[in-house]
């Protein structure tokens, strides 16, 4: 590959689109005649305000975000949202969670600091190898919201259909599927994601929140930075924002639009994941760990069933220039994260390698 780049299958931070990296490189020392890098400029400057406004407008167009939703850029990654959500949405102090893996489990645990958490469904019985049935959940009558992690980065599952929330607000952690396919924003109260999985450099979350959920009348003890109301009023610049991430993500929004928008991105992702899943389905050595119906297009965990052999495969892939394929310790085996920026050739090359490995060691 150009610049001697590797195929990086990391779950995040992960590959970024090369055309965007090149553009950033081009602008690094002197951003469009401003005489400075974006890293050096005041966040209160006209130039940066332009970058910020354009990024928001481009994301709104790309995702089709309705006018009654706000876009917030907040530091602290996706993890900070685990607590910001219950802190800001607490009315009755009852929070319903679907636990489909480590990330929703972590979010539920954090919410329990602020109220009563009801786990209305979970898939722990089979090590989170599937998404629980969410068609008729025992939603709490006084629940402030229903929370899901829509794509489980570690276990490699994804929702094919959204839960029946029975009128409650739906909150979705989309960190590892953000901008990987079109979503209907109006189905949600909040969509959020850490950007380092599929959009940009680490250190920021994008929060898309329905206006009426941004409340001023929340608990006095909530720190000022952690109030959606303050973030919104300050247009994500209550304090110095992650200017670099905003700039970079803005470029990715434009890039995704230029390649046909999210429909085209999704089509690419379907075509890209197919050779890997097809291989796993016919392989005698490797096997995907997730129920077919719930498979993620972004994160693909697979195992041989023999830990020693798993380790051997991981070492062999690394030696062949495929990086970060070691599975998460809770699943073992291997995991290929194949986000938007992973080219199809990378997946095809990996499959060829695994086929060859199986032929030699099977």
Ligand X SMILES: *Cc1c(COP(=O)(O)O)cnc(C)c1O
Cβ-Cβ contacts under 8 Å for 100 (sequence gap 6 or more): 122, 123, 128, 131, 132, 148, 149, 152, 155, 157
Neighbours of 319 (CB within 10 A): 8
Q: Is residue 301 near ligand X by the rule CB under 6 A?
A: no
- State how far the Cα of 239 lies from the Cα of 264, in Å rounded to an integer: 36
187: its two tokens: 């189905």
**From 56, 90, 197, 326, active-site residue:** 197
**From 96, 144, 173, 310, active-site residue:** 173
103 is catalytic: yes
> Which of 78, 354 has the CB closer to ligand X?
78
**From 103, 181, 272, 294, active-site residue:** 103
Q: Is residue 179 near ligand X by the rule CB under 6 A?
A: no
DSSP 3-state of 32 = helix
Among 96, 110, 144, 173, binds ligand X (CB under 6 A): 173
310 is catalytic: no
- State how far the Cα of 189 lies from the Cα of 340, in Å rounded to an integer: 25
Q: Is residue 255 near ligand X by the rule CB under 6 A?
A: no
Q: Which of residues 72-101 bind ligand X (CB under 6 A)?
A: 77-79
Answer whether the bond into residue 38 is a cis peptide, omega within 30°: no
Q: How buried is 164 (Cβ within 10 angstroms: 0-12 exposed, 13-18 middle, 19+ buried)? A: middle
Among 16, 89, 99, 149, binds ligand X (CB under 6 A): 149
Q: Which residue is closest to ligand X by CB?
A: 77
Kindly determine how many residues on this chain lie close enough to bind ligand X according to the rule CB under 6 A. 12
173 is catalytic: yes
Q: Is residue 156 near ligand X by the rule CB under 6 A?
A: no
Neighbours of 228 (CB within 10 A): 24
Among 48, 69, 73, 103, binds ligand X (CB under 6 A): 103
The contact set with ligand X (CB under 6 A) reads 12, 77-79, 103, 149, 153, 173, 175-176, 194, 197
Q: Annotated active-site positions, please?
A: 103, 173, 197
């Amino acid at each position: 590959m150009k610049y001697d780049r590797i195929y990086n299958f990391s779950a995040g931070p992960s590959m970024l689109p090369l055309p965007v990296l090149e553009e950033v490189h081009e602008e690094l020392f002197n951003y469009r005649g401003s005489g400075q890098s974006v890293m050096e400029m005041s966040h209160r400057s006209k130039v940066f305000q332009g970058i910020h406004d354009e990024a928001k407008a481009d994301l709104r167009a790309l995702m089709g975000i309705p006018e009654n939703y706000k876009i917030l850029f907040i530091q602290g990654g996706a993890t900070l949202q685990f607590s910001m959500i219950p802190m800001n949405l607490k009315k009755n102090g009852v929070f319903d969670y679907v636990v489909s893996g480590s990330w929703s489990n972590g979010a539920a645990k954090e919410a329990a600091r602020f109220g009563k958490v009801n786990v209305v469904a979970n898939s722990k019985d089979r090590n989170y190898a599937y998404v629980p049935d969410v068609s008729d959940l025992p939603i709490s009558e006084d629940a402030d919201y229903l929370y899901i992690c829509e794509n489980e980065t570690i276990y490699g599952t994804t929702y094919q259909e959204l839960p029946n929330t029975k009128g409650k607000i739906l909150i979705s952690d989309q960190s590892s599927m953000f901008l990987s396919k079109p979503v209907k924003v109006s189905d949600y109260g909040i969509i959020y994601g850490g950007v380092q999985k599929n959009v940009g450099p680490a250190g920021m979350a994008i929060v898309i929140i329905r206006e009426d959920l941004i409340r001023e009348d929340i608990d006095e003890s909530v720190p000022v930075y952690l109030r959606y109301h303050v973030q919104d009023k300050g247009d994500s610049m209550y304090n110095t924002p992650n200017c670099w991430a905003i700039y970079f993500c803005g470029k990715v929004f434009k890039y995704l639009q230029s390649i046909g928008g999210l429909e085209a991105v999704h089509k690419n992702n379907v075509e890209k994941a197919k050779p890997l899943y097809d291989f796993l389905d016919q392989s005698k050595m490797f096997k995907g760990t997730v129920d077919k119906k719930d498979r993620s297009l972004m994160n693909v965990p697979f195992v041989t069933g023999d830990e020693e052999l798993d380790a051997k495969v991981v070492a062999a892939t690394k030696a062949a220039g495929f990086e970060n394929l070691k599975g998460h310790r809770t699943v073992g085996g291997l995991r290929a994260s194949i986000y938007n920026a992973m080219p199809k050739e990378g997946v095809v090359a990996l499959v060829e390698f695994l086929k060859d490995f199986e032929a030699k060691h099977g």
